[in-house]
Amino acid sequence: MSEPLATFVNGVEVEVPSRLPDIRAALPEERREEFDRAINEAGVHDIHAVMRHWMLQAVPAPEADVILARPAADEAERRGAA
């Protein structure tokens, strides 16, 4: 078994999930179906890139959450008004 992968978020080291079940579990529930589809559609030549993409998606990013909160709220408000 290999060593766990890690990165830094806001100066704090956090573990990066590196196994399919761990990546999936770390994602928000609403992203898991998209993850499953991407993994199932990946071929032998692109599976590593697909896994890397989703590994990074699974790492918590508080500053990104703050940046994205406003557009998400705007979109929710727009959809509610329609």
For residue 43, the enclosing domain spans 5-81
Can you tell me the distance from the alpha carbon of 23 to that of 52, in angstroms, rounded to the nearest whole number? Answer: 10
pLDDT at 34: 96
User: What total number of domains does the chain contain?
Assistant: 1
Q: Which residues of the chain have pLDDT under 70?
A: 1-2, 61-69, 81-82
pLDDT at 74: 77
C-alpha distances (whole Å) from 81 to each of 2, 71, 74, 77, 78 are 50, 15, 11, 6, 5
pLDDT at 14: 79
pLDDT at 50: 93
